[in-house]
Homo-oligomer: A and B are copies of this chain.
Amino acid sequence: MNIKSKFWITLDGEKVFGKGPCTLLKMVEKLGSLNKAAKELNMSYSKAWGIINRAERLLGYSLLETKTGGTGGGGSYLTDKAKILIKDYDLFSNEARISLEGIFKKYFKGL
């Protein structure tokens, strides 16, 4: 018996950021391209684009700086705000997961 959890940031009750966007942004940071990141995560480009677009719209600021055309066709790079966001989200979610497991054991130990 174990506990599993999900957390996401909301604004006016709407989901604006969570694990999915975070994973995607990290992959973009690594590969320099939203298209490549989507492929790597077995996700359609349109879905990946939708995730970023929605998050940016709701957050009110840009997460990706995009370049289209040119050598390699272009690419996508994280804005400073995106870097801060994924860092804070990571710290938060790790600490949250550990805390939750502790509380879970307190009430469901032995089961």
Contacts and interface: CB of A to CB of B under 8 A. Distances in A.
A100 interface: yes
B7 A11 contact: no
Number of copies: 2
A104 interface: yes
Interface residues of A, number: 25
A15 interface: yes
Interface string A70-109: 0000000000000000001101100110011001101110
A42 interface: no
Interface string A1-23: 11111111111000100000000
Contacts of A11: 1-2
Given A4-B7, A7-B5, A10-B2, A103 B108 contact: no
B7 A2 contact: no
11 contacts: A1-B9, A3-B8, A4-B9, A5-B8, A5-B96, A7-B104, A91-B107, A92-B104, A95-B107, A96-B103, A99-B99
Given A3-B8, A4-B7, A5-B8, 10 more contacts: A2-B11, A3-B7, A4-B9, A6-B7, A92-B104, A92-B107, A95-B106, A95-B107, A99-B99, A99-B103
